[in-house]
């Protein structure tokens, strides 16, 4: 230890084994520590308790409809760009009870009264943090504050990590969200060979870090982190020119290219389920056989689901697959901006990796542009 006080914005050098102590300190404070973990040859976000739970020595190779883990020969814990899951599942749960009701003479509503879990997210990438901030704009508006989201969001500890090895479907540099984490974290790691360079983002981070032993960050360590980040920005697998968005989409709602994509798209909804910003939900009711006990659940929905736009007595607004893909893309990179002041895309590339037929929005946008200019 050294006696310089930890301050927000300052950086220290943390020996890698100390991350165990940091996670233990977070658990002692009541957090459930969740992070990347190898499972079934993929990476999922689950409970992690020690360094040994993290995917050491792996990187992910991602391309259209393709995700592969490979061994790097390095001993790093955070090289692997994550898989299909995002942190969204911890803040906006895929399935949660809104309330239940039971009937004697009258109906009575019962609230779900167990306290929301407090999660410490271990290894949040810059694009993922940007996605959380986008969902904040959706769920924490002045005219609508979602109680489920708010409780979970307020309780978060965010341990961010800078991306040094972007993969083939990454384009965060184009979207201005990464690879470097800018704000909104409690602690932020940059992983070097033997140490983490740790930046302190909040008092919560400062207090958690005070449980660990660390050294002052040397110029060499700082330089190595900066070099790594500069290299990472050059290593994006994909690019997207956003200069003419959202107008390009809004002005070309009847372009022929929508038909071409509609023919390839399966309307499987994968892109919306892996997207860290997609927020659509449905409500589902359950009732017992005697009709005296019911519950109402909120579940993730998708604009690709056939019943998404169905109105009782009014038919389906978007019966064709083409119209659903158009809705998704014009929302993400078009109308989202008017609704929430930002694009609904952070450039994480999940929708490209996990589309079973390899539809790639970084190719669809240029194709629409080409048609518009012809």
Task: Work out the end-to-end distance of the chain between its first and last CA atoms, rounded to an integer number of angstroms.
Answer: 65
Asked if residue 282 binds another protein (CB under 8 A), the reply is yes
Asked if residue 9 binds another protein (CB under 8 A), the reply is no
**CA–CA distances in Å: residue 89 to residues 49, 53, 173, 229, 335:** 19, 20, 25, 28, 24
* Region binding another protein by CB under 8 A among candidate stretches 34-42, 54-62, 302-310, 363-371: 302-310
73: β partners? none
Residue for token pair 């990472």: 232
Asked if residue 115 binds another protein (CB under 8 A), the reply is no
Please check whether residue 304 is in contact with residue 326, taking contact to mean a CB–CB distance below 8 angstroms: no
Asked if residue 283 binds another protein (CB under 8 A), the reply is yes
Residues 6+ apart with CB under 8 A from 80: 36, 43, 55, 58, 59, 60, 69
Asked if residue 257 binds another protein (CB under 8 A), the reply is no
Instruction: Show the binding pattern over residues 135-154: x = contacts another protein (CB under 8 A), - = does not.
Output: ---xx-x-xxxxx-------
CA–CA dist 255, 236 (Å, integer):
29
CA–CA dist 346, 336 (Å, integer):
12
Q: How far is the CB of 169 from another protein (least distance, A)?
A: 25
Q: Which is nearer to another protein, 40 or 338 (CB)?
A: 338
Instruction: Show the binding pattern over residues 85-104: x = contacts another protein (CB under 8 A), - = does not.
Output: -------------xx-x-x-
Q: Which is nearer to another protein, 303 or 351 (CB)?
A: 303
* Region binding another protein by CB under 8 A among candidate stretches 56-64, 78-86, 311-319, 360-368: 311-319
Please check whether residue 196 is in contact with residue 213, taking contact to mean a CB–CB distance below 8 angstroms: no
Among 298, 332, 350, 369, binds another protein (CB under 8 A): 298
Residue for token pair 């009264």: 113
Asked if residue 351 binds another protein (CB under 8 A), the reply is no
What element of type H or E holds 45? strand 42-47
Binding site for another protein (CB under 8 A): 98-99, 101, 103, 106-107, 109, 111, 138-139, 141, 143-147, 250, 253-254, 279-287, 291, 294, 296, 298, 301, 303, 308-314, 317-320, 322-323, 326-327, 330-331, 335, 338-339, 341
């Amino acid at each position: 230890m050294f006696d310089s006080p930890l301050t927000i914005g300052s950086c220290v050098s943390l020996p890698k084994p100390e991350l165990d102590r940091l996670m233990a300190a977070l658990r002692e404070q009541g957090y459930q520590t969740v992070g990347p973990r190898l499972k079934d040859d993929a990476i999922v976000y689950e409970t992690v308790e020690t360094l040994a739970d993290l995917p050491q020595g792996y990187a992910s190779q991602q391309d259209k409809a393709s995700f592969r883990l490979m061994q790097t020969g390095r001993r790093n814990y955070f090289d692997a760009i994550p898989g299909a899951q995002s942190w969204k599942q911890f803040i906006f749960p895929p399935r949660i009870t809104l309330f239940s009701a039971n009937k004697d003479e009258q109906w009575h509503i019962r609230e779900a009264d167990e306290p929301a879990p407090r999660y410490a997210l271990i290894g949040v990438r810059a694009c993922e943090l940007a996605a959380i901030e986008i969902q904040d704009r959706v769920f924490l508006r002045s005219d609508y504050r979602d109680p489920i989201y708010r409780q979970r969001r307020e309780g978060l500890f965010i341990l961010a990590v800078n991306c040094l090895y972007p993969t083939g479907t990454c384009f965060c540099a184009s979207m201005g969200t990464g690879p470097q984490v800018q704000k909104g974290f409690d602690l932020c790691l940059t992983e070097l060979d033997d140490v983490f360079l740790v930046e302190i983002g909040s008092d919560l981070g400062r207090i958690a870090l005070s449980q660990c032993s660390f050294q002052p960050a040397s110029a060499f360590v700082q330089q190595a982190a900066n070099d790594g980040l500069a290299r990472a920005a050059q290593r994006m697998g994909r690019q997207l020119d956003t200069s003419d968005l959202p107008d390009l989409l809004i002005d070309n709602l009847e372009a022929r290219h929508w038909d071409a994509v509609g023919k390839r798209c399966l309307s499987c909804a994968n892109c919306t389920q892996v997207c860290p910003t997609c927020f659509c939900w449905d409500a589902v009711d359950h009732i017992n056989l005697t009709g005296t006990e019911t519950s109402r659940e909120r579940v993730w929905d998708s604009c690709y689901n056939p019943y998404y736009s169905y109105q009782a007595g009014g038919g389906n607004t978007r019966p064709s697959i083409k119209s659903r893909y158009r809705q998704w893309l014009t929302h993400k990179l078009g109308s989202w901006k008017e609704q929430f002041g930002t694009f609904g895309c952070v450039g994480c590339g999940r929708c490209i990796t996990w589309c079973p037929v390899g539809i790639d929005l970084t190719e669809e946008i240029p194709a629409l542009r080409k048609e518009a200019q012809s």
